[in-house]
Amino acid sequence: MIQLSTDKYISKDSLIEFFEPKNIKKYENRYDVLHHAIKNSDYVVTAWEDDKLIGLLRSSGDYTFTQYVNNFLIHDDYVSRGIASKVLDLYLQEAEDVDDIYIISGRKVTKSFTINWFHHKGFEQITSLDDFHVFRRSNQ
């Protein structure tokens, strides 16, 4: 059964197991720094199956006016199972008092389904350049 959490504590081993297959170059051999960054994020929502990390969304900002989603990732084996919706919905509930939430993405967002999904979740695409997309949700 999938469990969601807003606890910022994630073991380094769980982070490595989750991030290594993603091949995100900036995190390679810097998992200690990533672990620290997650603990210092304003909001963190994770999805777990037993003790396996399968989804992560984290953001930083000023808690009131703006939050920037730094990571929003789902384990490849769990894509298209509704986990991203559950993670994002819990995040939006946690950050409901924030005026503007931005998601900046450059990976796998060129699919029209993903762009439409962000629109369905209340985000508008405010800019796009090649594979780089910025979405904003205003809670005002």
pLDDT digit string (tens) for 70-115?
A: 999 999 899 889 999 999 999 999 999 999 999 988 765 556 778 8
Residue 126 tokens read as 């405010």
* H-run or E-run covering 61: strand 52-61
Nearest by Cα to 106 from 36, 47, 24, 41? 24
Q: What percent of the chain has pLDDT over 90?
A: 68
The tally of domains found in the chain comes to 1
47 beta partners = 4, 55
Residue 40: band (very low, low, confident or very high) from pLDDT cuts 50, 70, 90: very high
37 is in which domain, residue-wise? 2-138
CATH number, residue 104? 3.40.630.30
Nearest by Cα to 91 from 69, 65, 113? 69
pTM above 0.85? yes
- Say yes or no to pLDDT of 23 above 80: no
